[in-house]
């Protein structure tokens, strides 16, 4: 079984592409089911957040084209995403997943939401049977690594989130939040975090709008502000200073054509939109209307750079924890039992020696027992000298998880490597697939005698 992780993130793709490649929570189960229908894919997990969409699969046979799968599933032309998609194989995929879970690859270094999002993605995949022994072990290792990073470093202390940095951005633009009136569009986790930071910064009144009005009422009650019915959002926007949007809507809530009417109701008082949703809730073209400013989720990167400087030292400690965890995982994952392969080689070479001896025995004169013993010792010594470098390479290949080298050595002597792979008591993830010719050259080079 082989491991592949492919996706796009804030590091490789702009926001407009990320939002087109975002998979809504309601479609995650379907995405996992569809992945399992890809030839060769045996296990799968789909992760989709505001900063990334990643597919992690265990597969056999040919490498699945996950970039094409993602484009087809979301009806996006493959040419638009192919150059932005990254792929990690084997232990590199393990390392990337661990870093993501530990918030070392997040848009905001150390933000706490990503681990919960990874756990949610795992839970959805597991609930439909897309997670079996391979990904189960991988995900549990990722979770334990993230827990250790949180416990042993300060990378997650005084948590910084997209919501908190968004509030910092608002403060930077307006100078102060004291006396400001805010409209939160959305009543989920991100809105709740934003509300907490808004209160700390002295926002005067925080209204909440949500498609499910009961949810808006619940959050508004905790904030001591009014709840707004979704159909009344436009009128509510006319009396606030800032609108923060964080909903799962796949369509714009505020469109370009809404701009002039909003400013007329506001009597041209400036309006600030901070859109931290992916896909975006605010049409960026609305900023063409004079007096309206729009910031999206990628705008927080400039603000977050100062937070990153403060956390870099702790992040280095976290990276060391991840590196050790990856090494431990690799040692366990590629601890192949090579004894059957070694025994197979011994039998094959001994059979060759026995056959060759049988062919020349008729040409030999009658040998004394001492002479026969000497010949047997000679053959055994030659056999051991031939076997020694191959056994050494086999053991190193097992340690490295290099099953191709094992298979190449066994193929030279017509030894079936299957027993060796069946005898392995732990799950394994192989290294990056390469061309057969390249693997053959590497294996042949390893078989050259050492001096």
Q: Which residues are catalytic?
A: 50
DSSP H or E stretch at residue 88: strand 86-89
Tokens found for residue 25: 């929570």
Q: Is 242 helix (H, G, I), strand (E, B) or coil?
A: strand
Angle between helices 113-127 and 90-101 (to 10 degrees): 120
For residue 248, CA distances in Å to 47, 117, 277, 427 come to 15, 14, 7, 37
For 243, list phi and psi in degrees, rounded to 5.
Answer: -120, 120
User: Mapped to the 3 state alphabet, what secondary structure does 258-314 carry?
Assistant: HHHHHHHHCCCCCEEEEECCCCCCECHHHHHCCCEEEEEHHHHHHHHHHHHHHHHHH
Radius of gyration for the chain, computed over Cα atoms and rounded to the nearest angstrom: 30
Residue among 77, 88, 65, 79 nearest 9 (CA):
88
Pairing of strands 242-245, 271-275: parallel
**Torsion (CA) 88, 89, 91, 96 in degrees, nearest 10:** 20
- In what order do the strands lie in the sheet containing 86-89? 41-48, 52-59, 2-9, 86-89
- In what order do the strands lie in the sheet containing 242-245? 227-229, 205-210, 181-185, 242-245, 271-275, 292-296
d(CA 139, CA 131): 9
């Amino acid at each position: 079984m082989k491991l592949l992780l492919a996706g796009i993130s804030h590091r490789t793709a702009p926001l407009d592409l990320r939002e087109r490649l975002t998979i809504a929570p309601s479609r995650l189960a379907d995405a996992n089911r569809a992945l399992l229908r890809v030839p060769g894919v045996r296990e799968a997990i789909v992760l989709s957040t505001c900063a990334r969409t990643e597919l992690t699969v265990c597969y056999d046979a040919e490498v699945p084209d996950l970039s094409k799968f993602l484009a087809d599933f979301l009806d996006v032309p493959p040419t638009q995403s192919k150059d932005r998609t990254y792929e990690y194989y084997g232990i590199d995929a393990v390392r990337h997943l661990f870093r993501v879970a530990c918030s070392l690859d997040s848009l905001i270094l150390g933000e706490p939401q990503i681990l919960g999002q990874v756990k949610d993605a795992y839970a959805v995949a597991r609930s439909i049977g897309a997670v079996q022994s391979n990904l189960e072990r991988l995900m549990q290792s990722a979770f334990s690594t993230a827990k250790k990073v949180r416990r042993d470093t300060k990378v997650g202390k005084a948590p910084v989130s997209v919501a908190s940095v968004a509030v910092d951005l608002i403060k930077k633009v307006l100078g102060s939040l004291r006396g400001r009136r805010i409209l939160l569009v959305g009543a989920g986790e991100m809105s709740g975090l934003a509300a907490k930071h808004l209160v700390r910064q002295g926002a005067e009144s925080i209204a909440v709008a949500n498609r499910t009005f009961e949810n808006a009422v619940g959050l508004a009650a905790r904030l001591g502000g009014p709840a707004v019915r979704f159909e009344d959002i436009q009128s509510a926007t006319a009396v606030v200073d800032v609108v923060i949007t964080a909903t799962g809507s796949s369509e714009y809530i505020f469109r370009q054509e809404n701009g002039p009417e909003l400013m007329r109701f506001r009597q041209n008082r400036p309006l600030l939109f901070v859109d931290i949703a992916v896909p975006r809730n605010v049409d960026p073209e609305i900023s063409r209307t004079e007096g309206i400013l729009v910031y999206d989720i990628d705008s927080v990167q400039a603000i977050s750079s100062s937070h990153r400087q403060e956390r870099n030292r702790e992040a280095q400690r976290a990276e060391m924890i991840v590196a050790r965890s990856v090494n431990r995982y690799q040692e366990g994952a590629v601890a192949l039992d090579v004894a059957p392969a070694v025994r197979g080689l011994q039998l094959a070479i001994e059979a060759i020696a026995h056959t060759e001896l049988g062919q020349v025995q008729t040409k030999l004169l009658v040998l004394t027992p001492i002479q026969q013993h000497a010949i047997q010792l000679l053959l055994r010594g030659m056999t051991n000298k031939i076997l020694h470098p191959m056994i050494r390479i086999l053991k190193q290949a097992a340690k490295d998880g290099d099953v191709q080298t094992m298979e190449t050595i066994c193929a030279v002597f017509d030894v079936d490597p299957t027993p060796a792979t069946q005898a392995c008591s732990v799950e394994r993830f192989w290294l990056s697939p390469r061309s057969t010719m390249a693997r053959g050259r590497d294996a042949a080079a390893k078989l050259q005698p050492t001096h």
